[in-house]
């Protein structure tokens, strides 16, 4: 149902992980 919200959260997590690992 909250596909947009979930996608946004996933994008934020990817950005966080990317910044943390890089």
Q: What is the pTM assigned to this prediction?
A: 0.38
Q: What is the pLDDT of residue 5?
A: 66
Residue 9 banded pLDDT, cuts 50, 70, 90:
confident
> Where is 6: in which H helix or E strand?
helix 3-21
Stretch 1-22: mean pLDDT, rounded?
81
Torsion of CA 12, 6, 4, 22, to 10 degrees: 20
pLDDT at 15: 92
DSSP state of 2: -
Q: Is the pLDDT at 2 greater than 70, yes or no?
A: no
Average pLDDT over residues 2-19: 83
């Amino acid at each position: 149902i909250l596909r947009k919200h979930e996608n946004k959260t996933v994008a934020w997590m990817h950005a966080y992980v990317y910044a943390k690992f890089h």
